[in-house]
Structure 1
Amino acid sequence: MNILFIINPISGTVKKSGVEHLINENLDLSKYNYSIKHTQYPHHATEIAKQESTNYKIIVAVGGDGTVHEVGLGLINTDTILGIIPMGSGNGLARHLKIPMSTKKAILLLNHFKSKPIDTVKINDTHFLGAGGIGFDAHISYLFAKATKRGFITYLKISVKEFFSYKEKEYQLTIDGKTFYRKAFLITFANSNQYGNNAFIAPNAVIDDGWISIVILKKFSLIFAIPLAIKLFTKKINSSKFVEEIKVKKAQIISPNKEIHLDGEPLLIENTINIEVLPLSLNVISNE
């Protein structure tokens, strides 16, 4: 069986110098014929995945959420299976699928070849796999992408610094033909249950049920930050008075600005955002 590893040498927080040795040592070579390709520029992983999808049964993203996002985009609506060796700062989709954070254990999981189809989400003319959003978290994603250091501590520092100046914004939402308005600090589109680092923004999200959760978080004062953080990391965020969760298959949101993040990757998009779940459109290696 042919398997391709796409390695992003500069993504995430973990050095990848020893990955190729670990692959050779731990991959079942009686089962797999493996190849390795390295990305050389942004979106290169998507190009490789698209080009090679007919040549490999499994294509493995080796890197952070951004690398997983890029490889996954190239495999939507194909028969090729997405594998993940998580080496990033958040590893949101990998954690949802219960893929080990240990590089060696993630490689050994590939030997068991346990796969399943999951939903993906179409956003205008692009897609995401796990979670996307607008508002404060999209703003932070932009700043984090420009930071010289990666990792959760850097993300936290940027978030704390920007919290005080970032203003709540008004959004127009249309769901099931009904239009309404919400003032929000951020709005998350959750296909998977977490951002990464076990920060569960939608604890009850199921990644293969044909629905996503739109999670609306209102602005809160600093005294509520620690209680909210505790709820976020203990799967209780949806019990907060600042949170509203709506399950949808399709939705339209009109945003006052163009910033958005998809699987943590920042980009600019049209103010009118059309969201649609694509049921069971991506095959993945899973440990669920």
Structure 2
Amino acid sequence: MPSPEGRRAFTAIVNPAAGASASAATLVPLARLLREAGAEVVVEYSRGLRHAAALARTAADAGRVVLGVGGDGMVGCVGGALATTGAVLGIVPAGRGNDFARQLGIPSRPDALARLLLEGEPRAVDAIDANGTPVLGSVYAGVDAVANANANRTRVLRGSAAYYVGALRAVLTWRPADYRITVDGQEHRRTGYTVVAANSGWYGFGRHIAPDARVDDGLLDVVVINRAPKPLFFAVMRELENGLHVRRPQVEVLRGRQVRIELATPGRTLPYGADGELPGVLPVTATVLPEALRVLAPDPAP
């Protein structure tokens, strides 16, 4: 990881097609501070997530600290490429949600972030294997994944506005899904809005879906939002910002090392999401990967 002179060498991976202005506004002052401190910084521009993963592996093979610059999609892609390799990830939060960075307490101010990247010690955190793909934050299947798909399809709105409109459409047209949820071999049948297998407590642009989740406990918090009248569901959605939704009887939290989410209704399909991306449709099996990733992050609060 360090150069022969004992200084860290960084490769920053940026997707110029996604939030370019935000990424530049964050990365430019950060890179200047790192270079002024004597660190080497190389910036690589990816053509997409698959190319970003390849760039991350190449940089890691050269012994460099890999910086994921962007939101949860980019950070999840880069971090997922490094999972189980022993390489070191640095997170540069430059997206809309930055949910995994929020969970880890990654600072957003360039001076504080530069200090962490230069002086911090790598911290071992868990990841998730989701149908063979490494994921950092969470895997979710329900109205949230449909909202994600709606936002991706819109051509008029951008950013958070597209997501909010997509979420509204998803809720208004939602038919309760019949889930078969298997946690460490024990089957649960539920009907409702979503199932979230959470490594990180935050998802969906700052919603505290699993307030008790930890990234270093070797477990997934499985949050199930069961059937409820739609006005009540909107109240639950508002409470996601501070985690109070888990007090409601319609919300259930299970825990385990492996979670399989599938539909019990023949003929219906439902997408699942992972770190803001949509890898496929149910069923999905999410398995925790204990201490799979080394990331430059503050020590957890006691």
Counterpart code for 1:208 = D
Counterpart code for 2:273 = H
Counterpart CA distance in 1 for 2:255 and 2:39 is 40
Q: Counterpart in 2 of 1:200?
A: 208
Matched, 1:253 2:265: no
Q: Percent identity?
A: 25
Q: Counterpart in 1 of 2:296?
A: 285
Matched, 1:50 2:57: yes
Give the counterpart of 2:82 among 70, 75, 83.
75
Q: CA deviation at 1:233?
A: 1.3
Indicate conservation of the 8 Å contact 1:202/1:215, yes or no: yes
Within 5 Å, give how 1:45-194 maps onto structure 2. Answer: 45-103=52-110, 105-148=112-155, 149-194=157-202
Matched, 1:10 2:17: yes
Within 5 Å, give how 1:17-28 maps onto structure 2. Answer: 17-27=24-34
- Higher helix residue share: 2
Q: Secondary structure at the match of 1:15?
A: helix
Q: Secondary structure at the match of 2:82?
A: coil
Q: Secondary structure at the match of 1:198?
A: coil
Counterpart code for 2:75 = V
Matched, 1:266 2:278: yes
1:146-177 per-residue CA deviation (whole Å, 9 max, x = no partner) reads 33443333312221122111111111122333
Q: 1:200 to 1:13 in 2, by over 3 A?
A: farther
Q: 1:145 to 1:108 in 2, by over 3 A?
A: farther
Q: CA deviation at 1:6?
A: 0.4
Q: Counterpart in 1 of 2:236?
A: 228
TM-score by length of 1: 0.91
Counterpart code for 1:227 = A
Q: Secondary structure at the match of 1:157?
A: helix
Indicate conservation of the 8 Å contact 1:208/1:279, yes or no: yes
Counterpart CA distance in 1 for 2:297 and 2:244 is 25
1:5-31 per-residue CA deviation (whole Å, 9 max, x = no partner) reads 001112248533445531342115445
Q: CA deviation at 1:267?
A: 2.2
Counterpart CA distance in 2 for 1:140 and 1:175 is 25
Q: Secondary structure at the match of 2:61?
A: coil
RMSD of equivalent CA atoms: 2.1
Counterpart CA distance in 1 for 2:18 and 2:273 is 17
Q: 1:200 to 1:27 in 2, by over 3 A?
A: same
Q: CA deviation at 1:226?
A: 4.9
Indicate conservation of the 8 Å contact 1:6/1:36, yes or no: yes
Counterpart code for 1:275 = A
Q: Secondary structure at the match of 2:218?
A: coil
Counterpart CA distance in 2 for 1:258 and 1:165 is 13
Counterpart CA distance in 2 for 1:176 and 1:286 is 30
Indicate conservation of the 8 Å contact 1:62/1:84, yes or no: yes
Indicate conservation of the 8 Å contact 2:27/2:92, yes or no: no
- Which deviates the most, 216-225 or 83-92? 216-225
Q: 1:231 to 1:15 in 2, by over 3 A?
A: closer
User: Runs of 5+ in structure 1 lacking a partner?
Assistant: none
User: Runs of 5+ in structure 2 lacking a partner?
Assistant: 1-7
Indicate conservation of the 8 Å contact 2:34/2:40, yes or no: no
Q: Secondary structure at the match of 2:284?
A: strand
Counterpart code for 1:35 = V
Indicate conservation of the 8 Å contact 1:130/1:192, yes or no: yes
Q: Counterpart in 1 of 2:4?
A: none
Counterpart CA distance in 2 for 1:36 and 1:223 is 47
